[in-house]
Amino acid sequence: MSSSPELFVTGATGQLGRLVIDALLERLPAGALAAGARDPSKDAALAMREKGVEVRLADYARPETLETALIGVDRLLLISGSEIGQRRQQHRNVIAAARNAGVSLVAYTSGLHADTSPLFVADEHRDTEAALAESGLPFVLLRNGWYSEVFTWRLPLALKTGTLIGAAGEGRISPAARADYAEAAAAVLAGGDHAGRTYELAGDTSFTLAELVSLASEIAGKPIAYKDMTPDELKASAINAGLPEMFALMLSGTDAGIAKDALFDNGGALARLNGRPTTPIQSTIRSFIQSSPSPQSDSRS
């Protein structure tokens, strides 16, 4: 193994992790970084090596890989895992390895207002935050709001049918681009005294799903309406459309949380960390629509 890096990013080949590595490379030399990957042979891992970043095997579900990966690491970014329902133990595996390695700071990508959030995915975030507190390790909580990109996946069907269905009522959402959150994580990892702090990170502006639909309609130049329903109706509609039951449950549960403003925050912490305004949702929608095939020409329909 090469000389010890200062910073280690878990889940570095994921969508957020890749952006964090790029943001760190703007601040620090490649030799100061190491990237953790469940599969170091992935193209994303190879691309990082080409930039001079060391890639180490680090599988949340295999504690022995974590113990080896974190040798010599000073600061660690624990990016929350993607396997909902398994993250409690997986995150605790990382925290235990960090404690054994003598890591001086752990930054964790938690969820917005995780301590009070009604979203069921917040349970695992609360457990990880508790595990960090129990570990005795210095840590900082990066409570990320929703990514703007999460909302664009609902647009193709809406553009095709002219209707976006949801159960969010008048609840407001304050998302930011994934790159905004990555830049904030890099800023925290790269320097400053952040131990013991909790950052509620969200976009500068907020909107309802109905307002999102209006924006998308204007940008796409096509009429789209928002149809609000109950969470149970949304879940049933999603299942009838062929979505897996767990996915339908997440969709309806998230919208129910949005109705209670679970994804709303106007504190401005993300913009302050980055030293600039967050990316407008209009920019994300425009980029998505411009890069997507026209629904009329989609042969899969």
Q: Does 80 have pLDDT greater than 50?
A: yes
Spatial separation of the C-alpha atoms in residues 188 and 152, rounded to whole Å = 28
pLDDT value, residue 4: 64
- Percentage of the chain with pLDDT > 70? 95
The pair of three-digit structure tokens given for residue 52, joined into one six-digit string:
């001079």
The half-sphere exposure of 233 on its side-chain side, counting CA atoms within 13 A, is: 8
Angle of helix 245-259 versus helix 231-240 axis, rounded to 10: 150
What sign has the CA pseudo-torsion 100, 96, 144, 291?
Answer: positive
| Three state DSSP letters for 208-273 | CHHHHHHHHHHHHCCCCEEEECCHHHHHHHHHHCCCCHHHHHHHHHHHHHHHCCCCCCCCCHHHHH
Report, as an integer, the average pLDDT of 243-265.
93
Q: Does 298 have pLDDT greater than 80?
A: no
Q: Does 152 have pLDDT greater than 90?
A: no
Instruction: Categorize the per-residue pLDDT at 289 as very low, low, confident or very high, splitting at 50, 70 and 90.
Output: confident
Spatial separation of the C-alpha atoms in residues 286 and 172, rounded to whole Å = 21
Q: Does 50 have pLDDT greater than 60?
A: yes
